[in-house]
Amino acid sequence: MASVNTEAKAENLEVKSTSRSSVLGFFMAAPPMLLVVCFVGIPILIALTFSLGFTSGPNRVVSIIGQEIHKKDHWWGTFAAYKDVFKDSRFPGDLRTTLVVSFLSTFLTLLMALGIGLYQRIMGGRIAAIMTTLCLVPLFVPVVISSWAIHTFYAGDGFMRSLLSHFGINFPTVTSTVSAIVIGSVWTSLPFAILMVTSGLQSIPDALIETAQDAGAGFFRIVRTVLIPLAITPIVIAGTFTAIGIMGSFTIPLFLGPNQPTMLGVEISNFFGAYNRPQQSIVMAFIVFTAASGIALIYIWANVKSAKQSGRI
């Protein structure tokens, strides 16, 4: 009887302490949450109302300064600014460039990260270590510098053209083309992808790979049936982060891309600043956000899946 009583007491105590720590935890988590709500959440909500034609309240100043502002004509607002953007002759090209660059750069980044990561996992050794370290260099270079460095490297009087002209090869000027944006995006995205992929591959036990080899599986079969399925969560996380980052990028397409068509990140800035059409600029931000949200869902799905597998849910 006495032991039951103490057990119950202990349980009771535990419940009390968890509920107290949960309240404490909530308050400890509050400051960054508040900061994000105030300076990310609320501005985005205000921007949403602005894009729908709510021009009073916090949107008053920007509505007075900006040009081609549409005011709401229904209780819920108006889609006029959205129509403006979709009817704009440059928009289809910009959207296509944004999607193609994001997709292609993410694909190439993952391919390189996987290639180097798998090589390092299976072979190890000096070459693998050098290559991984090499790929981490961009992590420590500010985007403004790397974009400008890549700009000069592939420019008309850049290194590539200078070097190859000595061999009689007329290397094309890559700077100010869509290809240059892809080069810059891959360059800056590589470190994060490599880190995620290698950490995922390292956590796979050697025994699994050896067993598969003993069963007669070749290199590509092991990669396809053992390594990639087991490391799929970090690979998906690497891919989604890369794609979202590239989709909203600004400095890289600004320094490296052509004037037209360009990526929506640059166009958002142009419409907001140079063209003074803030409403249309915000509309474009929401279009990019919608696309990025789709990718973010894949990320959350991958996380939930891995949490389920390891029994955390």
Partner 1 sequence: MARVKARVKTSSLGVKIFLYIFMALMAVFILGPLFWLGIHAFVTNWTYPNLYPDGWTFHWWTRVFDDSALETAIRNSLIISPIVVIASMVICLPAAYAAGRMNYPGRRIFLIGMFAANSFPKIGLFASIATLYYALNLMGTFLGVVIIQLLGTIIYMTWIPAAAFAAVPRNLEEAARDAGASKFRVFRTITLRLAMPGILVAVVMSFLASFDEAQGSYLVGAPQIFTMPTEMYSLVQNYPIQVAAVFSLLLAFPSVLLITLARKHIIGGQLAEGFQIK
Site for partner 1 in 26-45 (CB under 8 A): 26, 28-33, 35-36, 39-44
CB of 35 to partner 1, least distance (A): 6
Where in 66-125 is the site for partner 1 (CB under 8 A)? 119, 122-125
Over the window 231 to 270, marking each residue x when it contacts partner 1 by CB under 8 A and - when it does not, the resulting string is --xx--x---x--x--xx-xx---x--------xx--xx-
Q: 12, 56, 165, 309: which one contacts partner 1 (CB under 8 A)?
A: 165
3-class DSSP string for the chain: CHHHHHHHHHHHHHHHHHHHHHHHHHHHHHHHHHHHHHHHHHHHHHHHHHHCCCCCHHHHHHHHHCCCCCCCCECCECCHHHHHHHHCCCHHHHHHHHHHHHHHHHHHHHHHHHHHHHHHHHCCHHHHHHHHHHHHHHHHCCHHHHHHHHHHHCCCCCHHHHHHHCCCCCCCCCCCCHHHHHHHHHHHHHHHHHHHHHHHHHCCCHHHHHHHHHCCCCHHHHHHHHHHHHCHHHHHHHHHHHHHHHHCCCHHHHHHCCCCCCCHHHHHHHHHCCCCCHHHHHHHHHHHHHHHHHHHHHHHHHHHHHHHHCCCC
Q: 8, 10, 15, 24: which one contacts partner 1 (CB under 8 A)?
A: 24
Taking CB under 8 A as the binding criterion, the range among 3-11, 74-82, 99-107, 304-312 that sits at the site for partner 1 is 304-312
| 142 interacts with partner 1 by CB under 8 A | yes
Q: 156, 224, 260, 301: which one contacts partner 1 (CB under 8 A)?
A: 156
Taking CB under 8 A as the binding criterion, the range among 71-79, 85-93, 102-110, 128-136 that sits at the site for partner 1 is 128-136
CB of 290 to partner 1, least distance (A): 10
Where in 173-232 is the site for partner 1 (CB under 8 A)? 187, 190, 192, 195-196, 198-200, 202, 206, 209-210, 213, 219
Q: 157, 220, 274, 311: which one contacts partner 1 (CB under 8 A)?
A: 157
Q: 80, 81, 108, 135: which one contacts partner 1 (CB under 8 A)?
A: 135
